[in-house]
Structure 1
């Protein structure tokens, strides 16, 4: 029975093959679409590149440089509002709130609701509340208040995860040294959670740059220099792309739109790369490497790497996968499986029969 049960691996093999197939297919589809979008924007943006568009776009007061400045102002002002609020809520949920607290459950429920709300809803709310009701003009300030509500849920979630990832041993050691709750948070928890906090902040910055719907309803769509600071109206990179795409199929306009999209893509990818760099530097296990050593290591990885061994390993992996695939549909294997199943059923039938005979004998002895 042990032998036949061990040989019964067909179901697990098929299940494993199907799961691997779907995982690999999903990954390939995502990588293909992402690469297609990035390369498409880069090629079309470089093909239609015009230096004059940075100074002035046709039909507008200014150019791409003005949209970059407005975008940066929006990012700075939004983070000024969002970071303190997110950090306070995250620290409360991670350090003070009890798991069964109704107030904490209400906060988490509100965070989940806000996370699943479409961004255009936030734009309508910002337009009706901050601009119509509170009489704030369409400006970077009004747009930053709206974007604060948009990025609060992901910021709170990332900050809370960063705080909860700090080992409890650190807190216990701090309490053992006589520190109170406040000092433990500021001297132990937050410094050790800084890597996750910085990473979440940079990813939220990329979210601010990428949003268009909440911004053009509260900031405006005209391309102009932000001469009035945070109370200036204007267009960000994404809202300018949206307005140009909505104008029609004019080749000149579409070319400038791809150029603006290229600048946005470079900015977002740069922020993601910077996020990885900062997270790496804030890692306690990080060791600073000199300039010469760093590039010598990169040279060894790129030039002296054994690429032949990689292809050999890839070929062996494909061969093993193909052999497993053929083995699943092997007639000889299925004959062995069927024979083992028959043997297993016969053994189980004999065991049940013997058990019934023993039970009947035991019953007769007890009756006697």
Structure 2
């Protein structure tokens, strides 16, 4: 009888702890979502009313403070940086996950380099880019210097996410392909990579978020200049949307802060659209792999 009473008390304590932990998890989730919604509503509510056709597509002047040139520069930086960094990051992840032997010293060095690059502050990247790309290589303060710097910054994100995605592919896929006579290289590119593509795209999405939101490194490398009309000249010094928002917020013009909120709203919309399209694309790839 005494043991039964003790068991009931023990079960009661476990239920109380379980309910407390469950409540804590729910509160943490609600708090996280609430903070996100507050930030989004605060910026969008103050920014969207200030967005108009002149601000989006007009020439930059003291009256309109148009963001057309920064939008073009931001999209240019996203595309070219990913073209440079994504293949390098994915191929490095393929080597680490598929070809490198356990305990290999080269693997340890690569992992140390990736972890170190991931932990370096962006301002340090900016100083490195200013010294190496701007001064030593002679790119000057330009979009190209910013692209090279940002490409190095996003490598750790792409490598880590791609490696984890490749490792998550079941071994039976590889064994089945190799058993049918396919080479190791063909197995990786025809079986493993398509299956791991949704996870790789997740890393690309995170990389895009870092490119779009970067300011410190780009101030030192791409500069803070803004042109009346956008140009695709890689050697021109142009600001991105994040720098444009920072510069507007620090200027003393009467409507510059309103335009800064408008720029922030555009940034949020661009990030949302990119994430949405990438998620949809990853979902389609996943369904295609399931059908195969």
1:256 to 253, 259, 264: 259
Aligned mates of 2:21, 2:249 — CA distance in 1: 40
Q: RCO (CA 8 Å, sep 6+): is it higher in 1 or 2?
A: 2
What displacement does 1:188 show? 1.5
Please tell me whether residue 203 in structure 1 is matched to residue 195 in structure 2: no
Q: Which residue of 2 aligns with 1:97?
A: 100
2:78 to 51, 75, 78: 75
SS of residue matched to 1:255: helix
Aligned mates of 2:38, 2:138 — CA distance in 1: 44
Q: Is the 8 A contact 2:139 2:235 kept in 1?
A: no
1:278 to 270, 278, 281: 281
Question: Which residues of structure 2 form unaligned runs of 5+?
Answer: none
Q: Is the 8 A contact 1:143 1:214 kept in 2?
A: yes
Q: Is the 8 A contact 2:157 2:206 kept in 1?
A: no
With normalisation by structure 1, the TM-score equals 0.72
SS of residue matched to 2:62: coil
Q: Which residue of 2 aligns with 1:242?
A: 246
Question: Structure 1's 3 and 104: CA in aligned 2 closer, same or farther, altered over 3 A?
Answer: same
Q: Kindly report the root-mean-square deviation, in angstroms, between the aligned alpha carbons of the 2 structures.
A: 2.3
Q: Which residue of 2 aligns with 1:20?
A: 22
Aligned mates of 1:11, 1:124 — CA distance in 2: 56
Q: Deviations over 1:43-82 (max 9, x none)?
A: 1112323432231343399721111111111111111210
Please tell me whether residue 192 in structure 1 is matched to residue 189 in structure 2: no
Q: Which residue of 2 aligns with 1:33?
A: 35
Summarize the alignment of residues 121-200 of structure 1 with structure 2, pairs less than 5 Å apart: 121-200=124-203
What displacement does 1:251 show? 4.2
What displacement does 1:9 show? 2.4
Question: Structure 1's 39 and 98: CA in aligned 2 closer, same or farther, altered over 3 A?
Answer: same
Please tell me whether residue 48 in structure 1 is matched to residue 50 in structure 2: yes
Q: Is the 8 A contact 1:159 1:200 kept in 2?
A: yes
Q: Is the 8 A contact 1:199 1:278 kept in 2?
A: no
Aligned residues: 287
Aligned mates of 1:223, 1:60 — CA distance in 2: 14
Aligned mates of 1:17, 1:91 — CA distance in 2: 43
Q: Is the 8 A contact 2:194 2:285 kept in 1?
A: no
Aligned mates of 1:221, 1:60 — CA distance in 2: 19
Question: Which residues of structure 1 form unaligned runs of 5+?
Answer: 289-368
Aligned mates of 1:285, 1:182 — CA distance in 2: 21
What displacement does 1:13 show? 3.0
Q: Which residue of 2 aligns with 1:212?
A: 215
Aligned mates of 2:288, 2:92 — CA distance in 1: 29
